């Protein structure tokens, strides 16, 4: 549901979205939700009259069987809808932050498009399970595209198990052979498509004034949430695998928008099924080693449990409880003190640079935590009184929040420290002019 909602938000062109429902409960729910552009296909329709598929279903476990299906499903859809130019597969735990157009643009000269894991240096050992990720692929309805699907389908139906064996692993290691064995295969290059726990820590994240997310300066297209796990509906483990590092920027720019949408989806489902709870209660998974996030309504309850994780505010809705899994070299030390209501008690951060401090305050302001950002900058200008950028940034924030005199005073201090910086002079001039006009 979150994937569907994110595509509807960002894709303005006409498209059809096929959902293969592997159980009847999902099919019934989606029928009642009645999303536009969505076509529902029950799995038993695909299995009917397909002996190789049914044989595979009998000789592997359920997850392995699901892995076996992707190429077979793509062929099933194309054969029944021959007007399709190209078809793109997405795992259900993907989420879009911007238009998928960069994917389609890269597909232009290819019959098949696959994407690499792009493992971070700390996780390169995982490449033994496959250079490419099977959670996304695009295939064109042409000779080379159909040949690739048939080759992959036949091998997955023959062998698709959750173990390394003779150069195979599930449906995924077969993809390593695509560029060598098949024609018309391309690799997705856009860095913002395919961000995931196995590669995300090597990138930098930002957000513009309109709230659009960027990774390494380019639009974040989609993130793959392969290990996000509910403890309860309002307590979530971003990655259940402890080897996946996290940061505050990753949590704010990638995870918060997704879990916000998950909560909207839960509300939608519970309007139809008030006691719906499938997959949302897994308290046994949470350990002292996990970083987790929780809605602020859970603060008192979590505090009373005396968990060892370090508490911090993420935004106006979500809190973070960090373990060693949370590593962040670009942010301020967040091991702050908090009063009983969860409000941060400021303290000195002597081990952090003024650049880090300024960057952190700006990110808080961008995320909508404006009072926090202004409060931090007031403290930082006392700690670094000669840093004119601190005064200039604080002045801009105060001005935008309606405190014109205080904003001008900050710009005057910045100008006194750096009269030759034309940016400071221009901002101060504009403020003074607008004040005169008022």
Convert the pLDDT of each residue in 182-241 to its tens digit: 999 999 999 999 999 999 999 999 988 888 999 999 999 999 999 999 999 999 999 999
Question: Are the C-beta atoms of residues 226 and 254 closer than 8 Å to each other?
Answer: no
Q: Give the pLDDT of residue 109.
A: 87
| Cβ atoms of 219 and 191 closer than 8 Å | no
For residue 414, what are the CA distances in angstroms to 16, 18, 67, 191, 356?
55, 57, 59, 38, 19
Q: What is the CA radius of gyration of the chain?
A: 25
Fill in the DSSP letter of residue 186.
E
User: Whole-angstrom Cα distance, residue 133 to residue 126?
Assistant: 11
Q: Given this model, what pLDDT does residue 339 score?
A: 37
Quick one: which of 57, 5, 12, 66 has its CA closest to 30? 5
pLDDT at 353: 66
- pLDDT at position 330, please? 40
Ranges of the chain with pLDDT below 50: 329-352
* Closest to 349 (Cα-Cα) out of 311, 323, 379, 319: 379
pLDDT digits 0-9 by tens, 370-423: 888 898 899 899 989 999 999 999 999 999 899 999 999 999 999 999 998 888
Calculated CA dihedral for residues 97, 99, 101, 104, nearest 10 degrees: 60
pLDDT for residue 366: 67
pLDDT given at position 293: 98
Q: What is the mean pLDDT of the chain?
A: 90
Q: What is the pLDDT of residue 367?
A: 64
- Tokens at residue 324, please? 């060693």
> Can you give the pLDDT at residue 362?
81
- Residue 255: burial class (beta carbons within 10 Å; 0-12, 13-18, 19+): buried
- Pairwise CA distance, residues 438 & 433, whole Å: 9
Residue 207: CB atoms within 10 Å: 17
Secondary structure of residue 198 in the 3-state scheme: coil
Q: Which domains does the chain have, with CATH numbers?
A: 2-200 (3.90.550), 227-240+269-345 (no CATH), 354-437 (1.25.40.10)
At residue 230, the pLDDT reads: 97
């Amino acid at each position: 549901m979150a994937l569907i909602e994110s595509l509807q938000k960002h894709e303005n062109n006409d498209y059809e979205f096929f959902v293969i429902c592997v159980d009847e409960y999902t099919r019934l729910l989606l029928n009642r939700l009645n999303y536009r552009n969505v076509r529902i296909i029950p799995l038993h329709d695909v299995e009917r009259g397909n002996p190789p598929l049914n044989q595979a279903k009998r000789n592997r476990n359920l997850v392995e069987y699901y892995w076996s299906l992707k190429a077979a499903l793509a062929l099933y859809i194309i054969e029944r809808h021959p007007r399709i130019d190209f078809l793109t597969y997405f795992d259900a735990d993907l989420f879009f932050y911007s238009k998928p157009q960069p994917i389609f643009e890269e597909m232009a000269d290819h019959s098949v498009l696959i994407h690499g894991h792009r493992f971070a240096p700390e996780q390169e050992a995982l490449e033994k399970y496959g250079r490419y990720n099977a959670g996304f692929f695009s295939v064109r309805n042409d000779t080379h595209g159909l040949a690739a699907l048939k080759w992959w389908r036949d091998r997955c139906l023959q062998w698709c198990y959750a173990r390394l064996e003779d150069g195979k692993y599930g449906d995924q290691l077969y993809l390593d052979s695509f560029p060598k064995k098949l024609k018309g295969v391309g690799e997705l290059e856009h860095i913002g498509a395919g961000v995931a726990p196995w590669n995300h820590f090597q990138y930098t994240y930002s957000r513009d004034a309109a709230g659009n997310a960027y990774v390494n300066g380019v639009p974040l297209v989609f993130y793959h949430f392969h290990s996000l796990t509910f403890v309860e509906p309002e307590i979530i483990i971003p990655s259940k695998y402890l080897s996946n590092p996290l940061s505050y920027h990753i949590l704010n720019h990638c995870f918060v928008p997704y879990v916000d949408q998950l909560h909207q989806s839960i509300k939608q489902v519970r309007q139809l099924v008030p006691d719906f709870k499938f997959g949302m209660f897994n308290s046994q998974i949470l350990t002292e080693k996990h970083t987790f996030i929780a809605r602020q309504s859970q603060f008192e309850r979590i505090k009373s449990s005396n968990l060892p994780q370090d508490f911090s505010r993420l935004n106006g809705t979500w809190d973070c409880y960090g373990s060693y899994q949370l590593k962040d070299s670009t942010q301020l030390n967040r091991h702050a003190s908090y009063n009983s209501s969860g409000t941060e008690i400021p303290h000195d951060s002597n081990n952090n640079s003024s650049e880090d401090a300024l960057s952190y305050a700006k990110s808080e302001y961008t995320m909508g935590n404006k009072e926090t950002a202004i409060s931090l900058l007031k403290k930082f200008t006392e700690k670094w009184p000669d840093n004119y950028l601190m005064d200039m940034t604080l002045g801009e924030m105060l001005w935008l929040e309606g405190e014109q005199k205080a904003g001008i005073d900050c710009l005057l201090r910045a100008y006194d420290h750096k009269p030759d910086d034309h940016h400071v002079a221009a901002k101060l001039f504009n403020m003074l002019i607008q004040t005169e006009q008022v």
